[in-house]
């Protein structure tokens, strides 16, 4: 009787050994370019295709060098994951230990920062290089429960030979991304792994629910810090005239006066007191506050500095698209949503600019959907400010725009159905400016 991918997953819950044999046949056929007896699940098949394009060796695991103990400590102290380790431990470690699993927490680059759980399983993980400081990104060790969720940005269970690299096919791994609840930026991945015979379908929902609890905790901490900053800033704002805003160290708004509400002000990576140009406020006076900054707009001096602004639109990493602006005020970056990455790419290709109708026709296949385009572009202009003009939409003439694109054109914004982008997936070189 023929099995579907869903049947194989269900079979794994009752007969892990048989399901593993089936998946091993599927993996072998797929890697050799033959017809598979059962189609792999889409998330697995798409990951395998990425691995083959990148030249990952399916028969040999080539681990990257481990981070030093000092670097691991530095990353632990700087990542927001440190704030949610109690939530992750409480929700996962005790059950994982009893079920002969381990909990692994990696940062946004796939580097393992914490491992806890069953001692015998930890020893087995050491033999695979699955240890603190290791790089477990998909491009290094193939399809797995840390690297793959980081790429697809959703929970993934990788069972037995669904792993691309053979040495991992005796394991089952279930990982879920942990994202910054403020802007959706990837912070890291939490994974529960163990021998394939311990696989259970419910593990996926379990790990995902704990990851969501961790994100909720981060949201609570963020709101509490803004409330503390607001209590400090409110008396100062009450005495100021004109436009002013109090923001935390990352630019998130705690309080403001004389201006429409905005969630966040784009700040340079290294901000210091004094007069600085900040999008979208223009020239501002910047003063330090406990936990943030007090920023007052100097009206009448709003345009961006001329001839000194460089915009880098980086689309090279899967689902980690960003825009970086460098100018007289320093440098700042922002991770982009799929839609904003799509729109900015189209504008970067056309210095003369594009109307809302033209963007709507390309992105949605319907020039009448201008309301949607204008709403999205309004959000983009909140952080790019005067660097992005409208009527038509375009980068300002003083901005030097550089595109950084994937090495394989097929990886260019793979979610996008825009006609221009679909065409460029077959014609675009690795980078352009």
Q: Are residues 9 and 156 in the same domain?
A: yes
Tokens at 339, concatenated: 């839609």
Give the relative orientation of helices 356-364 and 370-384 as an angle to the nearest 10 degrees. Answer: 110
Q: Is residue 356 part of a domain?
A: yes
Q: Are residues 334 and 200 in the same domain?
A: no
Rg value, the chain, Cα? 24
* pLDDT for residue 304: 46
* pLDDT for residue 289: 87
Q: What's the Cα-to-Cα distance from 405 to each of 53, 306, 331, 414, 424, rounded to whole Å?
A: 16, 27, 20, 12, 11
Query: Do you know the residue count of the chain?
Result: 433
Q: Are residues 158 and 205 in the same domain?
A: yes
Domain-ending residue, one of 297, 321, 344: 297
Q: Are residues 49 and 162 in the same domain?
A: yes
Q: Are residues 261 and 314 in the same domain?
A: no
Q: Are residues 274 and 165 in the same domain?
A: no
Q: Are residues 269 and 386 in the same domain?
A: no
* pLDDT for residue 309: 76
Tokens at 409, concatenated: 């054109």
Q: Is residue 224 part of a domain?
A: no
Q: What residues form DSSP beta bridges with 322?
A: 314, 335
Q: How many CA atoms lie within 13 A of 33 on its CB side?
A: 2
- Decide: 59 and 32 in contact? Cβ < 8 Å: no
Residues 323 and 329: their CA atoms lie apart, in Å, by 16
* pLDDT for residue 253: 92
Looking at the structure of the chain, the number of domains it has is 3
Q: Is residue 143 part of a domain?
A: yes
* pLDDT for residue 3: 54
* pLDDT for residue 267: 82
* pLDDT for residue 91: 94
Q: Is residue 135 part of a domain?
A: yes
Helix H, strand E, coil C: the string for the chain is CCCCHHHHHHHHHHCHHHHHHHHHHHHHHHHCCCCCCCCCCHHHHHHHHHHHHHCCCCCCCCCCCCCCHHHHHHHHHHCHHHHCHHHHHHHHHHHHHHCCCEEEEEECCCEEEEEEECHHHHHHHHHCCCCCCCECCHHHHCCCCCHHHHHHCCCEEEEHHHCCCHHHCCEEEEEEEEECCCCCCEEEEEEEEEEHHHCCCHHHHHHHHHHHHHHHHHHHHHHHHHHHHHHHHHHHHHCCCCCEEEEECCCEEEEEECCCCCCECCCCCCCCCEEEEECCCEEEEEEEECCEEEEEECCCCCCCCCCCEEEEEECCCCCCCEEEEEECCEEEEEECCHHHHHHHHHHHHCCCCECHHHHHHHHHCCCCCHHHHHHHHHHHHHHHHHHEECCCEEECCCEEEEEECCCCHHHCCCCCCCHHHHHHCCCCCCEEC
Q: Is residue 304 part of a domain?
A: no
**Structural domain range at position 315:** 309-432
Q: Are residues 113 and 54 in the same domain?
A: yes
What are the residues whose beta carbons fall under 8 Å from the beta carbon of 202, sequence distance 6 or more?
none
Q: Are residues 62 and 100 in the same domain?
A: yes
Q: What residues form DSSP beta bridges with 424?
A: none
The CATH number linked to 150 is 3.30.450.40
* pLDDT for residue 262: 82
* pLDDT for residue 14: 54
Q: Are residues 128 and 191 in the same domain?
A: yes
* pLDDT for residue 245: 93
Q: Are residues 203 and 280 in the same domain?
A: no
- Give the pLDDT of the chain (433 residues) as one tens digit per residue: 455 555 556 555 556 677 778 888 889 898 888 888 888 999 999 999 999 988 899 988 776 789 999 999 999 999 999 999 999 999 999 888 888 899 999 999 999 999 999 999 999 999 899 999 999 999 899 999 999 999 999 999 999 999 999 999 999 999 999 999 987 889 999 999 998 877 777 899 999 999 999 999 999 999 999 999 999 999 888 888 788 999 998 889 999 998 888 888 878 777 888 888 786 677 888 998 888 999 998 865 444 444 457 889 999 887 788 888 876 555 677 888 888 999 999 999 998 999 999 999 998 888 898 998 898 888 888 778 777 888 899 988 878 899 999 888 888 888 788 888 888 877 655 444 4
Q: Are residues 260 and 341 in the same domain?
A: no
Domain-ending residue, one of 189, 219, 249: 219
Q: State pTM to two decimals.
A: 0.72
Residue with tokens 């056929």: 29
Domain-ending residue, one of 219, 253, 276: 219
Tokens at 235, concatenated: 């008396």
Residues 285 and 361: their CA atoms lie apart, in Å, by 42
Q: Is residue 405 part of a domain?
A: yes
Tokens at 97, concatenated: 């230990």
Q: Is residue 170 part of a domain?
A: yes
């Amino acid at each position: 009787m023929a099995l579907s991918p869903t049947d194989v997953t269900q079979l794994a819950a009752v007969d892990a050994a048989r399901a593993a044999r089936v998946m091993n046949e599927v993996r072998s056929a797929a890697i050799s370019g033959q017809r598979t007896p059962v189609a792999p699940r889409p998330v697995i098949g798409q990951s395998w295709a990425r691995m083959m394009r990148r030249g990952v060796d399916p028969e040999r695991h080539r681990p990257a060098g481990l981070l030093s103990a000092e670097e691991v400590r530095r990353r632990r102290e700087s990542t927001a994951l440190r704030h949610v380790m109690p939530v992750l431990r409480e929700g996962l470690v005790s059950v994982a230990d009893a079920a002969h699993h381990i909990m692994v927490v990696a940062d946004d680059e796939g580097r393992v920062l914490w491992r806890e759980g069953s001692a015998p399983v930890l020893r087995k993980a050491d033999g695979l290089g699955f240890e603190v400081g290791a790089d477990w990104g998909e491009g290094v060790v193939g399809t797995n429960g840390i690297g793959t969720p980081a790429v697809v940005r959703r929970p993934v269970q990788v069972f037995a030979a669904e792993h691309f690299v053979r040495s991992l096919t005796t394991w089952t791994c279930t990982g879920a991304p942990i994202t910054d609840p403020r802007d959706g930026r990837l912070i890291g991945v939490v994974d529960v792994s163990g021998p394939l015979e311990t696989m259970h379908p419910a593990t996926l929902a379990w790990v995902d629910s704990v990851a969501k609890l961790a994100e909720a905790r981060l949201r609570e901490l963020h709101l509490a810090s803004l409330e503390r900053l607001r209590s400090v800033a409110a008396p100062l704002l009450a005495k100021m005239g004109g436009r002013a805003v109090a923001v935390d160290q990352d630019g998130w708004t705690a309080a403001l006066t004389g201006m429409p509400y905005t969630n966040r002000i784009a700040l340079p990576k290294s901000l210091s007191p004094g007069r600085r140009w900040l999008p979208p406020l223009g020239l501002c006076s910047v003063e330090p506050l406990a936990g943030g900054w007090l920023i007052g707009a100097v009206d009448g001096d709003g345009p961006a500095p001329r001839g000194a602004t460089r915009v880098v639109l980086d689309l090279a990493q899967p689902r980690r698209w960003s825009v970086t602006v460098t100018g007289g005020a320093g440098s700042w970056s922002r991770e982009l949503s799929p839609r904003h990455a799509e729109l900015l790419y189209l504008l970067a290709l056309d210095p003369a600019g594009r109307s809302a109708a033209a963007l709507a026709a390309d992105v949605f296949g319907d020039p009448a959907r201008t309301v949607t385009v204008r709403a999205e572009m309004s959000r983009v202009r909140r952080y790019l400010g005067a660097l992005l003009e409208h009527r038509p939409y375009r980068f300002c003439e003083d901005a030097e725009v550089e595109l950084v694109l994937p090495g394989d054109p097929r990886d260019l914004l793979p979610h996008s159905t825009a006609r221009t982008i679909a065409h460029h997936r077959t014609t675009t070189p690795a980078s352009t400016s």
